[in-house]
Amino acid sequence: MKPRSNSKQATLTLLALLIPVAIFIAAAPTEKTGSLKPPDKDPIPVAFLISDGAVVIDFCGPWEVFQDTMVPSRPDMPFRLYTVAETKKPIRTSGGMQIVPDYTIADAPAPKVIVIPAQSKPSEAVLEWIRKSTKTTDVTMSVCTGAFVLAKTGLLSGKSATTFHSAFNSFAMEFPDIQLKRGARFVENGNLATAGGLSSGIDLALRVVERYFGRDVAQKTAYNMEYQGQGWMNSDSNSVYAVAPVSTAEHPLCPVCGMDVDPKIAAKSVYKGETYYFCSGEDKKTFDAAPDKFVTK
């Protein structure tokens, strides 16, 4: 009986040793999913596509992430950053900042990463540049309502995506062939990726750093930036935006974008006996053109 007892003890000991290994092995593929191979020597070219109205944090947040990334095994900075626009004409971003683009879509270096922030409506020439460039990118990413720009290329058709939470309804109506993921910090599809609003772009950029150089480098980058957000390690961490807030008589919301409105000054429309208030005249026009799309009762 004693040998049998020793055998049982040995088995239990072996299991105790193997279980953590098994757990590690099971978890490892998740961390390695979508890993990217950086060039051995040259920096990774990152193009920031901008136009009038480009939202500053949407592109400056990722810019800061990429410029702050340092890889111990590389003597030089691993990313080369530049702005691209349709022309060299100075651009006025959100808040009035003026930027002179580094390149135009006609002469920009071929990017391996494209960042598309919220901005004005793109021309067909810009959309074609995105389509052509994305054939050879590692990542083409949008931030906030930059998802509308990326969606207009047709590249997201049949795929999933996310955008700024106040644009969920508009995005779903304009692009019914794209699966909208509400409550996602970012969504990845091959070499395409979409981030939620504003600061979500920082998380997606850190995720790109992780895909190229591993989690340790991404964590060090976040540490150096004094960025304590954890969303880049969990793409589904925007759950607070998964359920739309409900408009009430005491706290009315714009039926188009879902943002708070002040009934005393807001534009309004009456539909089927109910009064609806809007953040802007543009939202009122959108509602008036097809109110059934925005009224659920």
Do 125 and 101 share a domain, yes or no?
Answer: yes
The stretch 6-10 carries a mean pLDDT of 45
Do 172 and 284 share a domain, yes or no?
Answer: no
The stretch 111-126 carries a mean pLDDT of 98
pLDDT per position as a tens digit, 157-192: 999 999 999 999 999 999 999 999 999 999 999 999
In this predicted structure, what is the pLDDT of residue 30? 32
Do 275 and 146 share a domain, yes or no?
Answer: no
In the predicted structure, residue 260 carries a pLDDT above the cut 80: yes
In the predicted structure, residue 16 carries a pLDDT above the cut 60: no
List b or e across 212-243, with b for residues whose CB sees 16 or more CB atoms inside 10 angstroms: bbeeebbebbbeebebeeebbbebebbeebee
Q: What percentage of the chain carries pLDDT values higher than 70?
A: 89
Do 263 and 223 share a domain, yes or no?
Answer: no
Tokens of residue 270, six digits: 């009456």
For residue 23, name the pLDDT band (cuts at 50, 70, 90). very low
Q: Does any domain span residue 22?
A: no
Do 69 and 192 share a domain, yes or no?
Answer: yes
Do 91 and 169 share a domain, yes or no?
Answer: yes
Range of the domain at 282: 245-297
In the predicted structure, residue 202 carries a pLDDT above the cut 60: yes
In this predicted structure, what is the pLDDT of residue 21? 37
pLDDT per position as a tens digit, 130-145: 999 999 999 999 999 9
Give the domain-ending residue among 215, 241, 267. Answer: 241
The stretch 219-242 carries a mean pLDDT of 96
Do 179 and 109 share a domain, yes or no?
Answer: yes
Cβ neighbours, 10 Å, residue 263: 11
Q: What is the mean pLDDT of the chain?
A: 89
| Total number of domains constituting the chain | 2
In this predicted structure, what is the pLDDT of residue 293? 85
| CATH code, domain with 289 | 2.30.170
Give the domain-ending residue among 241, 270, 287. Answer: 241
In this predicted structure, what is the pLDDT of residue 18? 43
The stretch 47-65 carries a mean pLDDT of 98
For residue 245, name the pLDDT band (cuts at 50, 70, 90). confident
User: Which helix (DSSP H) or strand (DSSP E) does residue 281 occupy?
Assistant: helix 281-289
Q: Does any domain span residue 19?
A: no
The stretch 63-90 carries a mean pLDDT of 97
Q: What is the DSSP letter of 260?
A: B
In the predicted structure, residue 9 carries a pLDDT above the cut 50: no
Do 155 and 268 share a domain, yes or no?
Answer: no
Do 92 and 207 share a domain, yes or no?
Answer: yes
In the predicted structure, residue 11 carries a pLDDT above the cut 50: no
Q: How far apart, in Å, do the first and last CA atoms of the chain sit?
A: 74
Q: Does any domain span residue 2?
A: no
Extract the runs of DSSP E, i.e. beta strands, from 36-166: 44-49, 79-85, 91-92, 98-99, 103-104, 113-116, 139-142, 160-161
For residue 297, name the pLDDT band (cuts at 50, 70, 90). low
Do 123 and 224 share a domain, yes or no?
Answer: yes
| CATH code, domain with 219 | 3.40.50.880
